[in-house]
Amino acid sequence: MKKPLPARPFAVLVAVSALILATLSGCGGSSTSPVVSNPLSAAAPMVVTVSDAPLGNILSARVTLSSVTLGSATTGSTPVSVVSSPVTVELSGLGAVQEPIEISSLAQGTYNSVTLTVSAATVVYTSSSGQMVTATATLASPTITVALSPGLVVNSTSELQLQLAFNLAQSFSITGSTVSFTPAINTTGAQVGSEAPGDRQVEVTGNVVSVSSSSISVQSGDSGKQFTFTVNGSTQLPTGTTISSIATGDIVQVQGQTQTDGSILATSITLESTQSSAGGQDQNGAKGIVLAVTQNSTGGIASFTMLPREDFGSSLSGSSGSLTVNLSSSTTYAIPEDAQQAGLTASSFTAADIFPGESVTVSGAASGSAALNATQIMLAAESIPATLVAAPSGTAPDFSFSLTIAVPSFLTTYSNLVTLSGTTNSATEYGNGLSQSGFAALAAGASVEVHGYLLQTSPGTFALYATKIAQIEAPQPPEGGSSGDN
């Protein structure tokens, strides 16, 4: 497991005026053209985000992006770097949700291509026999250039967003024990003010670095980067919690929305673990997939193993190994703020609801490098690629729908799930060109990715509470093969 670093040279703040991008030259050795950092004069602030599409049998995918550059439509112009340093991100836990990886700036002009270079990729997947396999992928074609269509026109200082949407099932090629990786992505660049609300949502989970009445800075447990969110009266907090009661070192999940002024507004803050709940011990935790459950003599759950996709704190280690989570009578159970908005009640998640294939966030005291004595288990969201069994039923915004889950999938492997029922409500967001009315009009067989909370309502019976639904698109074809030239 990767640990967040206490100080990163590429830590960024939302205040773009304080951001100075380092010059990158020939990152990854894949381009013969010089790459220049972006000047701040006459520039627009820009957030760079990543997400992923269908996972198949992939449990975890950690990818290092050594460079991301934009090509200008002006002949002979120099590619512009939009990430200040290489960044490693875990992609499989994102799905339809976007994670920021950089706050950058972009000079005015027109940009028509994105070049991405990957320097490392590791994957954890389930084999045909159901075994968990960890592999370092061969980088078959580490650099890819795809078109921005339509081109990104920067003619003001309004906030921009560059979305990098990976298709993991097509990026990784798994044949027997041989794994290779070639980036398969869709890219979109747009002014934030023109985007649908669902496309402006971002999420970061990690340790609180600083907090005030008007902002909160969080170091991502995934990338290790630091992001600052503004806080105002519309920011939703847990019942009984105020922004002043959140302390440095607490573990939080912050959901935000990019703003036209270059900031990211925190729409909700969920406390994953606090200094007081850990009894003064170091904060440690992880977010990932439950692999197996161990019962005690009375049939209750004594412990479970999970595959962490992100981890928090400094005592856990083992980049791709499983984590044993020990439960006790003092372990508490909770759901995030957006899960309550999706229709779950605070008491709907208990130890009895934990099952293999479920996504959870755990926190507590480390017991060695690969075990944790849990003080709290929180239900976590997951993204499920699937096809609609039939057109959604009901009246907006409250739809009911049934899904056929793509095979192979960790849910089909660990929970024997083939079909799944879900619901939407007024809090459900829609993204990637899909609207509420567009979702209602979809027919049987339509491919969608549903992000939400999967709950076991009774043994063998499951319900999905959707927080976001997006369309699935085929990756863009590369320009000129795998060339890194713009």
Q: Domain boundaries in the chain?
A: 16-195, 202-273, 284-379, 382-471
Amino acid found at 125 = Y
DSSP readout, 280-302? TSPPEEEEEEEEEEEE-TTSSEE
Mean pLDDT, residues 148-175 taken together: 86
To which residue do tokens 């976001």 refer?
468
Residue 276 burial class via C-beta count within 10 angstroms: exposed 0-12, middle 13-18, buried 19 and up:
exposed
pLDDT at 9: 33
pLDDT at 283: 62
Tell me the pLDDT band of 232, cut-offs 50, 70 and 90: very high
Which architecture characterizes domain 202-273 according to CATH?
Beta Barrel (2.40)
Rg (CA), the chain: 21
Tell me the two tokens of residue 89.
Answer: 């991100």
Dist CA 387 CA 399 (whole Å): 16
pLDDT at 263: 86
> What tens digit of pLDDT does each residue of 59-90 get?
888 999 999 999 987 777 888 998 888 988 88
> What tens digit of pLDDT does each residue of 282-291 get?
567 888 889 8
Q: Can you identify the CATH homologous superfamily of domain 382-471?
A: Nucleic acid-binding proteins (2.40.50.140)
DSSP readout, 59-124? EEEEEEEEEEEEEESSTTPPPEE--SS-EEEE-TTTTTSBEEEEEEEEESEEEEEEEEEEEEEEEE
pLDDT at 364: 85
Dist CA 385 CA 58 (whole Å): 12
Which H or E run contains 147?
strand 143-154
pLDDT at 118: 93
Dist CA 291 CA 11 (whole Å): 33
Triad 170, 290, 361: Cα angle to 5°: 100
Instruction: Indicate the CATH number of 284-379 among 3.90.1150.10, 3.90.79.10, 2.30.29.30, 2.40.50.140.
Output: 2.40.50.140
Q: Which among 205, 373, 353, 360 has a CA at the least distance from the CA of 277?
A: 373
